[in-house]
Structure 1
Amino acid sequence: NFFGNMRKRKIRPDALIASIRQLAVMTNAGISIYDSLCEIAKSTTDQNLKLVFGKLSEDINSGHSLSKSMENFRFELGNLTIAMVQLGEKTGNLDDSLYSLADMLEEIRANVVKFKKAMAYPRNVMVAMAVAFTVLISYVVPNFKNMFEKLNAELPLPTKILLKLEHLFNNYGLYVLVLLFISFSIFKYLINNSKNIRYGWHEVLLKTYLIKNIIIFATLSRFTLVFSELIRAGIPIAEALDTAISMIDNLPLKAKLSSVRVAVEKGSSLHEGLKDTKLFENMIIQMVSAGEDSGTLDTMVSKVAQYYKMRFDAIIDGLSEAIEPIMLLILASMVILLALGIFLPMWDMGNAVQGR
């Protein structure tokens, strides 16, 4: 249901993390889950969280388990939240699982915030460039347009491009914006509702400059983080893989890592399954193999998670520097187009006057 999905809203990450920590503290203090959920729903300012936790408390009061109740709110709460609550219920240490969940959500949120901060500068520069170019095309170029028309001469290509853009902006600008909005809405709908289209789009992203490495290392960092926490808690490897894989958004990467689950289920070792995906360096495969042989798999996978977090952080730290050449190229192209488009006809006109 498209409109049903449109009405759904994920809970703000900071509100969810705070509520999970509060639930962990109250559970550890011996307060019932029902009373804890009611208190959190009552005190929170996040309306989506208030609604979800209110429904959860009603389900708990009807005799359902917390994890079972959360299944109805997978979109709002996320797969990791449900998986960690299931883990806590299985082990009997719900408060410990909630504390670990809050820590993982905090780390995932920190990565997202770091990425957004890194993108803020190039995004603002690009917006400023777009606004400046639009103003020049809409208000400056028309002043030269009349002069060019009076020349009644063959105009150079850059000038023709500028005049075409000016005509498009001033006569069809609103229609273009509406068309772009409709196209974006349709594209977003197709991405959200067609798995094949979403898979194809994700493949395109994995072939795109800069975006490819960001997606790969962010995915592997999250995957190994969740997987290490689950096997450290004593969850079987196959189940831990299922939960960690459910956290992955990129479908091609999800398919590759799902093959690890299949391989392990058929009796292959974890490091062999990881090796077959061709996503992990040889060093990582050797670390996992050593962890399997020595019985310290959780420790080794935790170190792998730290390694991929370090790689992700390094990419984000160098993101602005990597994007700068692209911005300079775009800026230079705009300046050259404007300069040639405006001054070439004037130069030709000057030469013609001197020739007389």
Structure 2
Amino acid sequence: MAMYEFKGRNTEGRLITGQLDASSPDAAVNQLLGRGITPVDINLFVEQLSFSERFARATNRGRVDKVELIMFCRQMHTITRAGIPLVKGLRGLSASLRNYTFQQALNDVVERLEAGVELSTAMRAHPKIFDNLFVSLVSVGENSGRLDLVFKQLSEYMERDLATIKSIKTALRYPSFVLIAISIAIVVINVKVIPAFAKLFSTFGAELPLPTRILIGISDFFVAYWLYLLVIIAAVVAWVYHYVRTPDGSRVWGRKKLRLIVIGDIIERASLARYARSFGLMLNAGLPLSKALELSARAVDNPYLGDKIRGIRAGVERGEGLFQTHLVSGMFTPLVLQMISVGEESGQVDALLAEVAAFYESEVEYDVKQLSDRIEPIMIVIMAGFVTVLALGIFLPMWDMYSIQK
């Protein structure tokens, strides 16, 4: 397929210009005639890219940010609500996008739509951009005739999810910078500071205190074997990175990160909020219970919790109720379980799940705001320990030598 730029006139005689993908100029002519446009001029399009555009395409690596997906859903909500044909609307969106990967994906979706494929099926060909949850809800919207509502719900769901992720990252930024600064300080002290003091202390020939000898020993080891340490650290990081991407490793990491100090509870509640929000959204859209649970297990983005949700699905398929299966999973508090029970009895599970999601999201929001206050004492203890060890190692010998001179 090649890109062609064309000039033509529509049925009213108005001049139309644009671009289209076609296998040959004749195929481009046929496409234009099929749209009711009489071609006047067709040329092969040669794209002129600036250095910044080339760099952006080279470094994008097929990624589409969640913000771009949110904007896409909002625009699709407007397009479908206004009754604009999908092909025309998607072409307009594609032309306005700066993300080359997303633009090419939408162009491919348009081509599949023109070939008679449904929108959800066309999107399914791009799983890195449109995940199973997204495609399934679009399919439900197509079948129910409420595609505009589905895109609105998707944009709201992703906005809440993105806001939670951003708030957690913002709260963790300060302790991350502190730990990085401490690591850099440890390296500089071991390489530059302690060796200089070691030379000074050796000139006195006195026996050094134990903390000082430990510091000098660590520094000597660090200076002598820094390259081996660097290789070992890199190998460990690479192994951990590879391990957590395996099915078993991702489950282990999914369980471990829920037990992290301070932030483990926040991560767990954020995951449960995502589960409740996605599960309620799919039930509201009309998906079968079993499929909604499976998609929710994938949407929660934690294989460990995903296995528990699949356990809930297995219980439902055996004929057990939602309250019983959620109780057995051990994931939820008694208050949340009571809300699920009420929703099941009243036939309003989707509405009650939305309340559960709002409950967890409010808890996460409050905990994130308090996160800095909870982390600061830990940072102070770490800094105090670091300064204490350094002071004992360096200043004890100086005090001893000062007392001897007196």
TM-score (norm 1): 0.89
* 1:187 to 2:235 alignment: no
Aligned residue number for residue 92 of structure 2: 39
User: Aligned residues: percent identity?
Assistant: 32
Larger Rg: 2
Query: Shift in Å at residue 105 of structure 1?
Result: 0.6
* 1:331 to 2:383 alignment: yes
Distance, in Å, in 2 between the alignment partners of 1:128 and 1:339 is: 18
For the structure 1 residues 188 and 73, does the alpha-carbon distance in structure 2 shift closer, same or farther, using more than 3 Å as the test?
Answer: farther
User: Per-residue displacement from partner, 1:97-150 (whole Å, max 9, x unpaired)?
Assistant: 011101111110111111111112222222233333433333332321211222
Question: Relative to structure 2, which stretch is displaced further, 295-304 or 137-146?
Answer: 137-146
Q: By percentage of residues, which structure has more strand?
A: 2
Q: Kindly indicate whether the alpha-carbon contact (under 8 Å) linking 2:137 and 2:285 is maintained by their aligned counterparts in 1.
A: no
Given the alignment, which residue of 265, 278, 286 partners 2:330?
Answer: 278
Query: Shift in Å at residue 261 of structure 1?
Result: 1.0
Q: Kindly indicate whether the alpha-carbon contact (under 8 Å) linking 1:21 and 1:98 is maintained by their aligned counterparts in 2.
A: yes
Given the alignment, which residue of 143, 149, 153 partners 1:100?
Answer: 153
Matched residue pairs, number?
348
Distance, in Å, in 2 between the alignment partners of 1:35 and 1:182 is: 51
Letter in 1 for 2:396: L
For the structure 1 residues 104 and 157, does the alpha-carbon distance in structure 2 shift closer, same or farther, using more than 3 Å as the test?
Answer: same
Distance, in Å, in 2 between the alignment partners of 1:296 and 1:56 is: 36
Letter in 1 for 2:91: C
Query: Shift in Å at residue 38 of structure 1?
Result: 2.6
Aligned residue number for residue 245 of structure 1: 297
Query: Shift in Å at residue 235 of structure 1?
Result: 2.8
Query: Shift in Å at residue 255 of structure 1?
Result: 1.0
* 1:121 to 2:174 alignment: yes
Matched residue SS, 1:235: coil
Q: By percentage of residues, which structure has more helix?
A: 1
Aligned residue number for residue 309 of structure 2: 257
Distance, in Å, in 1 between the alignment partners of 2:352 and 2:336 is: 9
Q: How does 1:1-356 map to 2 (within 5 A)?
A: 9-173=62-226, 176-192=229-245, 194-354=246-406
Query: Shift in Å at residue 170 of structure 1?
Result: 4.3
Distance, in Å, in 2 between the alignment partners of 1:171 and 1:50 is: 53
Distance, in Å, in 2 between the alignment partners of 1:118 and 1:289 is: 35
For the structure 1 residues 88 and 8, does the alpha-carbon distance in structure 2 shift closer, same or farther, using more than 3 Å as the test?
Answer: farther
Matched residue SS, 2:287: coil
Q: Kindly indicate whether the alpha-carbon contact (under 8 Å) linking 2:141 and 2:285 is maintained by their aligned counterparts in 1.
A: no
For the structure 1 residues 152 and 57, does the alpha-carbon distance in structure 2 shift closer, same or farther, using more than 3 Å as the test?
Answer: farther
Matched residue SS, 1:11: coil
TM-score (norm 2): 0.79
User: Per-residue displacement from partner, 1:301-329 (whole Å, max 9, x unpaired)?
Assistant: 22111111112112212211221222112
The one of the two structures with greater contact order (alpha-carbon pairs below 8 A, sep at least 6) is: 1
Q: Kindly indicate whether the alpha-carbon contact (under 8 Å) linking 1:224 and 1:304 is maintained by their aligned counterparts in 2.
A: yes
For the structure 1 residues 109 and 217, does the alpha-carbon distance in structure 2 shift closer, same or farther, using more than 3 Å as the test?
Answer: same
Matched residue SS, 2:244: helix
Query: Shift in Å at residue 173 of structure 1?
Result: 4.1
Distance, in Å, in 2 between the alignment partners of 1:61 and 1:187 is: 46
Question: Relative to structure 2, which stretch is displaced further, 321-330 or 107-116?
Answer: 321-330
Q: Unaligned regions of 5+ residues in structure 1, if any? A: 1-5
